[in-house]
Amino acid sequence: MGKIAIFPGSFDPFTIGHESIIKRAIPLFDKIIVAIGYNSAKSGYFPLEKREKWIRAIFEEESTVSVATYEGLTAEFCKKVNAKYILRGLRTAADFEYERAIGQMNKMLDQNIETIFMLTKPEHSPISSTIVREVIRHGGDASQFVPKQIDLSK
């Protein structure tokens, strides 16, 4: 079956920081599933369908990268798709503290899961979906922070 990883997140929207982590992880895994987590009680800034469509377009040429959506526990979704690895990006010490707790909790929920962290490239460390949304909300041009396949105006 090979090494299957999921890259979970809200991707609201997907940024060049996310893209960079996935591209660098492609040689490490047989399959990477970009897993968009959602909460049916709380809609995101961009509709789920749009986030999914954008990510599909970005990795159209990458045969080992696929996109899925899930609700609920990430550990449960891993079981469903037979993934043993959770890929996450680390930008700052604050990310580390947050990710440490989630990673350790996921390990307690399922001993088979390993969380793999990749350090962001320095030029991507200030980029977050939250700040990109703020730029958009205030009428700024956020195009430099997202992959070229994403047209934020549509």
Is 148 annotated as catalytic? Answer: no
Strands, E, within the chain: which ranges?
4-9, 31-38, 65-71, 85-90, 114-119
- Please name every residue paired with 7 in a beta bridge, in sequence order, or none if there are none: 34
Amino acid letter for position 123: E
- CA-to-CA distance for 107 and 110, rounded, in angstroms? 5
The CA angle 111-62-126, to the nearest 5 degrees, is: 70
| 121 counts as catalytic | no
Residues near ligand ADP (CB under 6 A), total: 16
If binding is defined by CB under 6 A, does position 95 make contact with ligand ADP?
Answer: yes
91 is catalytic: yes
Query: Residue with CB nearest ligand ADP?
Result: 17
Phi/psi of residue 113, nearest 5 degrees: -90, 135
Strands (DSSP E) contained in 10-111 are 31-38, 65-71, 85-90
Residue 95 beta carbon to ligand ADP: minimum distance, rounded to whole angstroms = 5
The distance of closest approach from Cβ of residue 99 to ligand ADP in the complex, given in angstroms and rounded to an integer, is: 6
**Part of the chain binding ligand ADP (CB under 6 A), chosen from 53-61, 63-71, 123-131, 133-141:** 123-131
List the interface residues with ligand ADP, window 29-58 (CB under 6 A). none
Q: State the Cα–Cα distance between residues 112 and 79, nearest whole angstrom.
A: 9
The strand pairing partners of 71, in sequence order, are 38
Would you count residue 69 as binding ligand ADP (CB under 6 A)?
no
Among the listed ranges 46-54, 60-68, 77-85, 124-132, the one in contact with ligand ADP (CB under 6 A) is 124-132
Q: Does 89 bind ligand ADP (CB under 6 A)?
A: yes
The answer to whether 106 contacts ligand ADP (rule: CB under 6 A) is no
Name the residues that contact ligand ADP, by CB under 6 A. 9-11, 15, 17-18, 21, 88-89, 91, 95, 120, 124, 127-129
